[in-house]
Amino acid sequence: MTPAEHLAELGRDFHKRGWALGTSGNFSAVVAREPLRIAITASSLDKSRLEAEHILEVDSEGQLLKPAHGKPSAETLLHVTVVRSLGVGAVLHTHSVWSTILSDYHIGHSGFFIEGYEMLKGLSGVTTHEHREWVPILENSQDMTALASETKRLLADNPDVHGFLIRRHGLYTWGKDLAEAARHVEILEFLLESVGRRQMMEPQY
């Protein structure tokens, strides 16, 4: 399966699971390192109908290389920033209900911890449910250059995180390849829903 085919398949799957409804979400994979080349979803596509021909290739600045026509995702710079900051091979961005709600609820603390869940062991490098995972939150912005700069700063300050949220927007996560990145989406989306539902059960004063 080519990276484009894999990205399209993931997009359709995430749509079915409620993590990338309508045109939301964007997905990328590194196809070359020197010079950097990234395959990424085109802008404003219905993820339920995503196909390999909807995947574009961009350079290290997020500029379109091929095909000759097409518009890369508006958030391409964020993908490039994550790849360049962490050296990962794939970046996936979802828009689930729980990531959206929790990113708004916890913005006052710039993030929150998830701990004690067995599913944490699905994250790369985590070997115990006693792990304490920090989930940072960035304020949303339509200025992608500024948001990319904030993302770079966040990753420099938190090099061990497995993902971050953008307020009222969604989850960004990554992996050494698409398989690992997709697993991180599944694990983090499960954990976000678990945390959200648990907080709903707590007494409100």
Euclidean distance between CA atoms 178 and 91, whole angstroms: 8
Q: Token pair of 192, please?
A: 């976000």
The percent helix, strand, coil of the chain (3-state, each to 5) is 40, 25, 35
Instruction: Assess contact for 171 and 165: CB atoms under 8 A.
Output: yes
CA-only gyration radius of the chain, Å: 16
* pTM flag (> 0.85): yes
Domains annotated for the chain, with CATH where assigned, are 3-201 (3.40.225.10)
Q: What is the pLDDT of residue 204?
A: 61
Please give the full DSSP string across 121-134, using - where no structure is assigned: GGSTT---TT-EEE
Quote the CA–CA distance of 26 and 192 in Å, as a whole number: 19
Mean pLDDT by 10 residues, the chain (205 residues): 95 97 95 96 92 94 85 92 97 97 97 97 97 97 95 96 97 98 98 94 70
**Predicted local confidence at residue 205, as pLDDT:** 53
